[in-house]
């Protein structure tokens, strides 16, 4: 059930991890191939990492190789897209920002939407105090609202944490980490609907990934009576509305992706022969992977990133224009609406050795730097809808 696929390219051994989360399940379950991992809400057990650590944040970082530095020229010229949001102003209600939308078909879901125009986070609606996921260390003070936007910051801060290894004896090790970041997750869940957010990326690239995504918690799946009891049924669902600035490896061009490359992927774990197996972009691209090349640099301006999760089809939108689509085979579980800033190469590796031996992912002390940090992503609003 390993999410790590190893591609050998001559002398280059690039371990491509679909999207970072996969390994998480291992972190709590050191034993080989757990069936359905016993899971707990992260905040319920602060000492433990989530059994199914979602993946959007950690993403497909090719693990450590002599990294060609992404050429600055790869970034397209600043976008010509108007900064002005094409979204409705709210005077007659909010509707999905999609071309040709039928307003009669949708209603706005206040419980999972926010304009972020107040000075404080609505903690009745959102949880921003979530237990750490290994090298992704969440701190509530890295998330705040200011000037009508939500800000999520990643900062350089050396700290130590105790983590269970997932390979070998599963022992608890005290390890040094270098960055702390922030996350905001809805307290309620939804499955089908339209989800969109107006986001500006971080100035720093590469090294971090602003993400807007939906993922299922074990407790919610259980509460809905949707835990799998037959082969082919999922026990985890994740829809990445968008992951920006991931800087993954382009196998066609033999270089790292520039900041204009946007990922809109799916992740799931499906019961097969009594094992819960990952299906992710690295292993199942036809099922889960969308790579979109924008004609703008997401660091320069706000843009609207959206997805419609339908019963048969999942469709992704960029500034109201449909840019990708997948069949919806497994994504029918309840999911939480999430915004976060995840660590990326060169600050995280999937080839862990030395003091980090036994972990599926680990920091890279030789690359740790304060330069470029703190760095901040901004979210003007997040709006969620359901079909009438
Ligand atoms: Ca706002």
pLDDT tens profile 186-209: 999 999 999 999 999 999 999 999
Residue 13 CA, distance from chain mean position: 25
Q: What is the 76 CA–ligand 1 centroid distance (Å)? A: 27
Q: Is 386 a catalytic residue?
A: no
Nearest by Cα to 216 from 246, 184, 182, 186:
186
**How far, rounded to the nearest angstrom, does the alpha carbon of residue 67 sit from its chain's CA centroid?**
23
pLDDT in tens for each of the 388 residues of the chain?
333 333 333 223 233 333 333 333 333 322 333 222 323 333 322 222 334 455 543 433 333 333 333 333 333 333 333 334 444 545 568 999 999 999 999 999 999 999 999 999 999 999 999 998 877 899 999 999 999 999 999 999 999 988 888 776 778 888 889 999 999 999 999 999 999 999 999 999 999 999 999 999 999 999 999 999 999 999 999 999 999 999 999 988 999 999 999 999 999 999 999 899 999 999 999 999 999 999 999 999 999 999 999 999 999 999 999 999 999 999 999 999 999 999 999 999 988 888 888 888 899 999 999 999 999 999 999 999 999 9
Which residues are CB-contacts of 46 (< 8 A; sequence separation ≥ 6)? 131
**Tokens standing for 116?**
């972020």
- CA 369-374-375 angle, 5° bins: 110
Q: For the domain with range 4-65+94-387, which CATH number is right: 2.60.120.560, 2.60.120.200, 3.40.50.800, 1.25.40.20?
A: 2.60.120.200
| Best CA proximity match to 15, nearest among 70, 54, 56, 60 | 60
Identify whether 240 is preceded by a cis peptide bond (ω within 30 of 0): no
Q: Which of 22, 49, 220, 243 is catalytic?
A: 243
pTM: 0.80
Q: How far is residue 300 from each of residues 149, 204, 289, 316, measured CA to CA in Å?
A: 16, 11, 25, 21
**Cα separation, 212 vs 59, whole angstroms:** 13
Distance from C-alpha of 116 to C-alpha of 119, rounded to nearest angstrom = 8
C-alpha of residue 382 to centroid of ligand 1, in Å: 9
Tens-digit pLDDT profile for residues 7-51: 333 223 233 333 333 333 333 322 333 222 323 333 322 222 334
Distance from Cα 148 to the centre of ligand 1, integer Å: 4
Please count the other Cβ atoms lying within 10 Å of the Cβ belonging to residue 254: 10
CA distances from 285 to 115, 247, 266, 279 (A): 34, 18, 9, 9
Catalytic, out of 49, 238, 300, 319: 238
Answer yes or no: 132 catalytic: no
**Cα of 198 from ligand 1 centre, angstroms:** 9
Given a contact cutoff of 8 angstroms between Cβ atoms, the answer to whether 109 and 384 are in contact is yes
């Amino acid at each position: 059930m390993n999410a790590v696929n190893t591609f050998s390219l001559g002398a280059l051994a690039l371990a491509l991890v679909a999207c970072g989360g996969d390994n998480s399940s291992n972190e709590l379950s050191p034993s080989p191939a757990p069936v359905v991992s016993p899971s707990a809400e992260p905040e319920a057990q602060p000492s433990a990492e989530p059994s199914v650590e979602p993946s959007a944040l950690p993403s497909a970082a090719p693990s450590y190789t002599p990294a060609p530095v992404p050429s600055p020229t790869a970034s397209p010229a600043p976008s010509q897209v108007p900064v002005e949001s094409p979204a409705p102003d709210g005077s007659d209600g909010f509707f999905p920002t999609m071309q040709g939308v039928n307003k009669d078909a949708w209603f706005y879901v206040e419980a999972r939407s926010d304009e972020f125009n107040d000075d404080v986070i609505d903690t009745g609606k959102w949880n921003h105090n979530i237990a750490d996921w290994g090298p992704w260390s969440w701190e509530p003070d890295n998330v705040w609202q200011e000037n009508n936007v939500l800000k999520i910051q990643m900062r350089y801060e050396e700290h130590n944490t105790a983590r269970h290894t997932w390979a070998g004896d599963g022992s608890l090790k005290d390890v040094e980490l270098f960055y702390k970041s922030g996350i905001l997750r809805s307290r309620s869940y939804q499955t089908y609907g339209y989800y969109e957010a107006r986001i500006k990326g971080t100035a720093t690239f590469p090294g971090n990934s602003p993400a807007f995504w939906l993922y299922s918690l074990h407790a919610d799946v259980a509460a809905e009576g949707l835990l799998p009891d037959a082969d082919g049924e999922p026990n985890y669902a994740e829809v990445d509305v968008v992951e920006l600035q991931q800087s993954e490896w382009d196998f066609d061009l033999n270089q790292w992706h520039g900041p204009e490359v946007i990922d809109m992927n799916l992740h799931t774990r499906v019961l097969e022969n009594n094992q819960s197996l990952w299906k992710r972009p690295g292993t199942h691209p036809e099922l889960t992977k969308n790579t979109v090349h924008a004609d703008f640099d997401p660091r320069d301006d706000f843009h609207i990133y959206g997805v419609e999760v339908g019963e048969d089809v999942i469709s992704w939108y960029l500034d109201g224009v449909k840019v990708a689509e997948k069949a919806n085979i497994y994504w029918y579980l309840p999911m939480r609406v999430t915004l976060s800033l995840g660590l990326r190469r060169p600050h995280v590796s999937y080839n862990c050795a030395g003091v980090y031996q036994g972990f599926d992912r680990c920091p890279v002390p030789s690359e740790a730097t304060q330069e470029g940090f703190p760095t901040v992503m901004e979210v003007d609003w997040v709006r969620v809808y359901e079909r009438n």
